[in-house]
Structure 1
Amino acid sequence: FSFHEPYASSASELVTELLQYLIEPADLMRGEAEALLAGIVLDTKHFTLRTGGRTFEAAAFLRRAGADTADVQRLFQNELSDMVSRYDIVRRAELYRGDIAVSVVPQEGVDRVAAAQAADELLTLKGVKASFVLYRNGDNVLMSARSLGEVNVQVVLEALGGGGNSTTAGGCVENGDPLDVRSRLVAAIDAYFEK
């Protein structure tokens, strides 16, 4: 069985679409409905990216199946220490070219999830089209990048050995120094815009 829909927001949306043809909303357990709705919420960044009419129809089906949006929101709550870490990353951000946020954390101790969330958070700043977070992990420098769609962060990070998709990308530079990787990132951003 193969189900390919390039315009779907997430795998959760695709599964929900199939379920609509196979079962009644009452046949779905509340926990299952909430897990699927959480997947849609996460992948669409709270219904702000890659959403269409079918995304909202899938969410409505899950609500009829008993998914509670407050419970789904609770699934995304963080610990205070995680929030402090995320905002420390955001605090270090600098704007490059006026609309690209770049944050470099030279010391170790940054959690991968916190870095990804900080990259997402930087996109909420007015005028920011893309964000890049660089942080040390042992001898390596990890990268987390996000975009609102105008800047293809996958192409930028491919120049540093990373990958992903146009709005979400990541990578790792082995035996790297965060400030050196930042210089290479800036060069990759410049090369991207010169095309």
Structure 2
Amino acid sequence: MLKIEPATLHRIDDPRLVSLVRNLVGERILRVRYSVPAGVIWQGDTELDHVHEVDMGVELVTDSGLVLELSWATPGSREGLAFTLDRLEELRPNKLVDLVEVSGRREWSRIVGYPVDKIGVSFHVYSYDSSVRPWSFRIEMSNGCSLVVALGEIDGRILSYMPNNIVVMLDEDVAGEYYVPDSLQSAWGETVRS
């Protein structure tokens, strides 16, 4: 298992991030699941086309059994977007979290079944200690489509920063226009060189 806590990731060329990218590039995404608190029903569509709001995180499962989990870390000293890469058979059930299968939704048809081509990350300056931390994660597929998972929430048709909530953008233009306070890039981010 490779877990990268946001308070420890400050650079795009961090060896842990490069290792995560090397493991994912070429992998075919087969399943997508949203993490929500147990017993909570995921609401689905929002007023923004191709943008979802998710309570806790996103899991992407590949054809070789890798699972990439993108989730928010506890607001405060650990705040930011956490990345975990694990094997499907090593994941343990969590009675506090339900996984909502969204792979079959129309929006995901441009992602599911295609190999990962590139990965990007966006950083911002954390206001409490001026450290640089990740707040979004981009995956580009071999067919030219992409998804971006970032910290945020949707209020009507407006995206805004929320450290304990996730937005999933399946639209490059939306991701390119979404900035948070003290961000160094838009949610589209910078490509990780592996």
TM-score bin (small chain):
under 0.3
TM-score normalised over the length of structure 1: 0.26
TM-score normalised over the length of structure 2: 0.26
Larger Rg: 1
Greater helix content? 1
Whose RCO is larger (CA < 8 A, sep 6+)?
2
